Amino acid sequence: MSHEAPGESNEWYTPAHVFEALGEVFDLDVACPTEGPRYVPARRFFSEGALEREWSGFVWMNPPFGHQSTKVTWLTKFFDHGNGIALLPDRTSADWWQDLVPRSSCILFTKDKIKFERPDGSIGKQPGTGTTLFAAGDRARSALLRASSLGQVFQHISANAA
């Protein structure tokens, strides 16, 4: 799921090349479009009610890109779960981004703006911003490092290590 522009559908698919670069099979996709998965290599899918349900295993999360409070709710649950990869827009100056990025194991800024797919298979317009992949946990960190062909990966350095 993703969101191209305000007022448009939340039904957007992450392109296959993202998953090919990550080289992972997820236990759970927590924000699957209601028309079903297209490319997400996951064993289970939540299309509705994911924020109220318990998550388990290695999670893929590409939530609706709506309002800031929506992103905060999804990312808080994601980081509380602590095991998976989340895809969200680059909003490096936004409070939600600044507040929550320190909880990630590492982040990957895609070098190209990801063009998401509509349910009919057509490709959406180039989004106004880029995309950030957030890692929660060691397995996710390894996947983002493996997917460095998608862009630049940054790992957190502890203030104590400096």
| pLDDT at residue 160, rounded to an integer | 43
Is residue 41 a contact partner of residue 23, using CB atoms and an 8 Å limit?
no
From the list 115, 116, 78, 114, the residue with the least C-alpha distance to 96 is 78
CA dihedral 2, 22, 123, 62 (to 10 degrees): -10
Report how far residue 65's alpha carbon sits from residue 31's, in angstroms, rounded to the nearest whole number.
11
- Lookup: tokens for 89: 């827009």
pLDDT score at 117: 77
Where are the chain's structural domains?
A: 16-156
pLDDT of res. 113: 77
pLDDT at 157: 61
Q: Name the residue with tokens 């992949």.
A: 133
- Res 5: pLDDT: 42
- Residue 158: the pLDDT is 53
Q: Along the 162 residues of the chain, how does pLDDT read in single tens digits?
A: 444 444 455 677 888 999 999 999 999 999 988 876 789 999 999 999 999 999 999 999 998 877 778 889 999 999 999 999 999 988 888 998 899 889 999 999 999 877 777 777 777 777 667 789 999 999 999 999 999 999 999 987 654 444
Predicted confidence at residue 65, as pLDDT, reads: 76
